[in-house]
Amino acid sequence: MQLIDTSFSVPLLNQCELLLCHFYPQRWDANTPKQYQIDVPQYLLEKAVDKRLAEYVAGRHLAKTLLQKLNIGAQVERDEKTRAPIWPQGIVGSISHSKGIAACAVQWQTKIAGIGIDIEHWTPAKTAASISKEVWLPEEQHLLNHIDWSFEQALTVVFSAKEALYKALHPQVGKFFGFKAARLCLQSGDSKSGSLCFELTEHLHTAVPKGAVFKLAYFCSDDWVVTGIELEHK
């Protein structure tokens, strides 16, 4: 039995194809990397559990598929210290996974300055209640009251969007920043798809000042939400 199902695309981004796939960690075995021709670092093979190894191969499999469409044969390596993907020169990309589903998007750096994507399954009610104060302010929640989402779904969408924004900005900012560094200020669309605008509440970098606004897209299925942003060149 194969670890990874057939990949599929979701209409989320303007200049990048967003590719997703379902995968099954319980199907992992020692031959899986060879089957998908993915080089897994030896330290991961020695220390990581099967679930983590399955996530790694699924994400890199999507990245490899998208890079081949750009006529790039190189694989995406991994920074052992930060655990972040190391993309081939001239490429920007982002990988995410959640409970048996992986997502990836890549593009030439000449076309976009950066990219961040995130996929999350809907947060359980108990978990949502416990983390809500860390993720958003009351006024952010109120901006989403008109959408046909439960409290848990609205929180998950904002959580995911802020994660995607972090992934896009971190290579430029070079430091950690939390959920409260960005505040939801505008929403458009419906419960299935649309966009969210976030205003920075902190000065993160000379090129990423307080007050800067970033627009992210979201797409919802019955079980999960995927969010993403493409950073334009200035």
Known binding residues for Mg(2+): 118-120
Residue 88's Cβ-side half-sphere holds a number of Cα atoms within 13 Å equal to 16
Query: Which residues, at least 6 apart from 36, have a Cβ–Cβ distance to it below 8 Å?
Result: 3, 4, 57, 60, 61, 64
Instruction: Tell me how far apart the alpha carbons of residues 89 and 225 are, in angstroms, rounded to a whole number.
Output: 30
Q: Compute CA 26 distance to the chain's CA centroid, rounded to the nearest angstrom.
A: 23
- The DSSP element (H or E) to which 187 belongs, if any, is strand 182-189
8 A C-beta contact, residue 17 and residue 69: yes
**In a 3-state reduction of DSSP, which class is residue 43?**
helix
Alpha carbon separation from 47 to 8, 51, 52, 53, 128 (Å, rounded): 31, 12, 10, 10, 31
> What residues form the annotated binding site for CoA?
52, 60, 96-97, 118, 163, 167
**In a 3-state reduction of DSSP, which class is residue 144?**
coil
Instruction: Tell me how far apart the alpha carbons of residues 215 and 180 are, in angstroms, rounded to a whole number.
Output: 16
> What residues form the annotated binding site?
52, 60, 96-97, 118-120, 163, 167
In 3D space, the residue among 158, 204, 160, 214 whose CA is nearest the CA of residue 181 turns out to be 204
